[in-house]
């Protein structure tokens, strides 16, 4: 395994900025990865554009047995690379998107080069995962539906693979009141900010900590000037749960919210974005990963459930065996200190290539 090549590829990919929605950056990343993948896979990639967002796809020849799934979009705005360029210090690589999840993509292509039969593998790299996969979900589900197993190269959790993920929902609550002069005639107004406060309390009460269900008001705004009764207010809500039944319960309750102050009105938009990735979806693949690691002389990965969602939630919900968190070790996803352990890239390449061989063995 050429460790210098892994570092070189990681540098090249991180140095191309690809925030969600930046088509030029996404396409430049895809052009680079095509130079890695096409010689290995022996076939050209497709650029599948959905809703204006391009995605990169290699379909397996014949019946696909394994899908490697990842995303190249990041949360970092353009010009972040100018103040945080790719660098390596003490065996750690730094840069925007290096951990989430460009190191995982470098790992995927290196694993394909090491595996016995890449013709049985589909590869899908999307460009909108960080904003909820609005254009790629149907494509992910279609390609995964033709596969026997899905391996997701999202970052590991301190080396542990992710065998469960909470599902998530996102809501906007828009409140309408009536403006009035706050000093001269406040009684003629309908205070949307007071209604917002009531809704924050009502929404927060929907959480069920004993079941791991969180309902979190995250963004709120109201009002125009200090001496005006607010006529409008807006609230954003983030919901996470381990069980689909819990997401459904909260969804119904959110859409049943009603105004508490006479004269005000409440409108709720939003729904379930990703179903949970339940442990049953990962159980057999996780056991296989531990066997592959043991046979290869690698550390046997632990497993963990996490609150954040990924595209693994979609494939697991379809009943397709799915194992997530197969990317390298590191820390700081979505944070300024984001880094990845370069030594772990080689270890993950061996683990993923071994999994592919085990899953595609006749």
Question: Token digits for 15?
Answer: 């140095």
Q: Output the six-digit token pair for 270.
A: 């939003």
Q: What is the 3-state secondary structure (H, E, C) of 207-274?
A: CEHHHCEEEEEEEEEECCCCCECCCEEEEEEEEEECCHHHHHHHHHHHHCCCCCCCCCEEEEEEEEEE
Burial (CB count <10 Å: 0-12, 13-18, 19+), residue 238: middle
Domains of the chain by start residue, with CATH: 3-165+276-360 (3.40.630.10), 167-274 (3.30.70.360)
Tally of CB atoms within 10 A around 151: 27
pLDDT at 362: 54
- CA 332 from centre of chain: 14
Which pLDDT score, from 0 to 100, does residue 62 have? 73
Per-residue pLDDT of the chain (362 residues), as tens digits, is 689 999 999 999 999 999 999 999 999 999 999 999 999 999 999 999 999 999 999 999 876 699 999 999 999 999 999 999 999 999 999 999 999 999 999 999 999 999 999 999 999 999 999 999 999 999 999 999 999 999 999 999 999 999 999 999 999 999 999 999 999 999 999 999 999 999 999 999 999 999 999 999 999 999 999 999 999 999 999 999 999 999 999 999 999 999 999 999 999 999 999 999 999 999 999 999 999 999 999 999 999 999 999 999 999 999 999 999 999 999 999 999 999 999 999 999 999 999 999 999 75
């Amino acid at each position: 395994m050429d460790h210098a090549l892994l570092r070189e590829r990681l540098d090249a990919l991180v140095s191309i900025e690809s925030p969600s929605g930046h088509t030029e950056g996404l396409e430049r990343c895809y052009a680079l990865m095509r130079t890695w993948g096409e010689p290995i896979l022996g076939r050209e990639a497709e650029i599948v554009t959905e809703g204006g967002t391009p995605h990169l796809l290699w379909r397996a020849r014949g019946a696909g047995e394994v899908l490697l799934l990842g995303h190249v979009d990041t949360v970092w705005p353009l010009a972040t690379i100018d103040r945080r360029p790719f660098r390596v210090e003490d065996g750690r690589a730094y840069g925007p998107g290096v951990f989430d999840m460009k190191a995982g993509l470098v790992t995927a292509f290196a694993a394909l080069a090491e595996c016995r039969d890449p013709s049985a593998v589909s590869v899908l790299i999307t460009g909108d995962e960080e904003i909820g996969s609005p254009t790629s979900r149907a494509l992910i589900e279609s390609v995964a539906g033709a596969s026997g197993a899905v391996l997701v190269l999202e970052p590991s959790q301190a080396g542990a693979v992710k065998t469960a993920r909470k599902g998530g929902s996102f809501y906007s609550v828009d409140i309408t009141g009536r403006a009035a002069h706050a000093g001269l005639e406040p009684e003629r107004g309908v205070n949307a900010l007071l209604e917002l406060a009531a809704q924050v309390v009502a929404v927060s009460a929907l959480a069920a900590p004993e079941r791991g269900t969180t309902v979190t008001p995250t963004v709120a705004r109201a009002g125009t000037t200090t001496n005006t009764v607010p006529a409008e207010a807006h609230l954003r809500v983030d919901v996470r749960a381990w069980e689909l039944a819990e997401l459904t319960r909260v969804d119904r309750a959110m859409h049943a919210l009603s105004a508490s102050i006479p004269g005000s009105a409440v409108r709720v938009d939003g729904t379930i974005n990703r179903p949970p990735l339940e442990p049953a979806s990962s159980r057999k693949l996780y056991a296989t990963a531990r066997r592959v690691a043991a046979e290869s002389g690698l550390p046997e990965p632990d497993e963990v459930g996490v609150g954040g969602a990924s595209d693994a939630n979609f494939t697991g919900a379809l009943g397709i065996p799915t194992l997530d968190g197969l990317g390298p070790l590191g820390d700081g996803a979505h944070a300024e200190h984001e880094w990845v352990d370069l030594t772990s890239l080689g270890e993950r390449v061996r683990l993923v290539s071994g999994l592919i061989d085990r899953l595609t063995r006749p």
